[in-house]
Amino acid sequence: MKICLISQEYPPETGGGGIGTQTYLKAHGLTARGHEVHVVSSSVDDKPRTYMDRLAHIHRIPQPFIKVPGYELSTCWLAYSFTAGEKVTELSERIAFDIVQFPEYGAEGFVYLTDTFKNRTAKHVLQCHGPLAMFTESVGWPERGSTFAEVGSYLEGACMKHVDLLLASSRNTAKFCADRYGLDVGAFRVIHSAVNTERFAAKPRAAGPGFPRVLFVGNIAGNKGTDAVVKSVLALRSRFPDIRMVAIGRTEEPFLSNLKERIRAAGAEGCVEIKGHVPYEELPQWYAWCDFFAGPSTFEPGPGNVYLEAMSAGRPVIACDSGGAPEVVLHDKTGLLIPPSDQPALDEAMIRLTEDTTLRARLGGEARAWIESNFTFERYTDKVESLYQELLA
| DSSP output for 263-323 | HHHTT-TTTEEEEE---GGGHHHHHHH-SEEE---S--SS--HHHHHHHHTT--EEEESST
- The CATH code of the domain that includes 254 is 3.40.50.2000
Task: Give the residue numbers spanning the domain of 269.
Answer: 213-374
Do the domain assignments include residue 316? yes
Are residues 148 and 234 part of one domain?
no
Give the tens place of pLDDT for each residue, 204-232: 998 999 999 999 999 898 889 999 999 99
Q: How far apart are CA 288 and CA 176, in angstroms?
A: 35
Together in a domain, 152 and 300: no
Under a CB-based contact definition with an 8 Å cutoff, are residues 169 and 18 in contact?
A: yes
Mean pLDDT of the chain: 94
Report yes or no on 202 lying in a domain. Answer: no
Number of structural domains (the chain) is 2
Structural domain includes residue 319: yes
Q: Are 31 and 115 in a shared domain?
A: yes
Q: Are 221 and 251 in contact (CB under 8 A)?
A: yes
pTM of the prediction? Answer: 0.90
Same domain, 60 and 98: yes
Is 61 among the domain residues? yes
Parallel/antiparallel/unpaired status of strands 123-128 and 292-294 = unpaired
204 belongs to a structural domain? no
246 in a domain, yes or no? yes
Q: Is residue 207 part of a domain?
A: no
Pairwise CA distance, residues 161 & 252, whole Å? 34
What proportion of the chain, given as a percentage, has pLDDT over 70? 99
Confidence of residue 116 (pLDDT cuts 50, 70, 90): low
Are 236 and 339 in the same domain?
Answer: yes
161 and 260 share a domain? no
Residues 324 and 285 in one domain: yes
Cα 129 from Cα 104, distance rounded (Å): 7
271-281: per-residue pLDDT in tens? 999 998 888 88
309, 259: one domain: yes
Does the pLDDT of residue 327 top 80, yes or no?
yes
Could you report the per-residue pLDDT of 54-77, keeping only the tens digit for each?
999 999 999 988 877 778 899 999
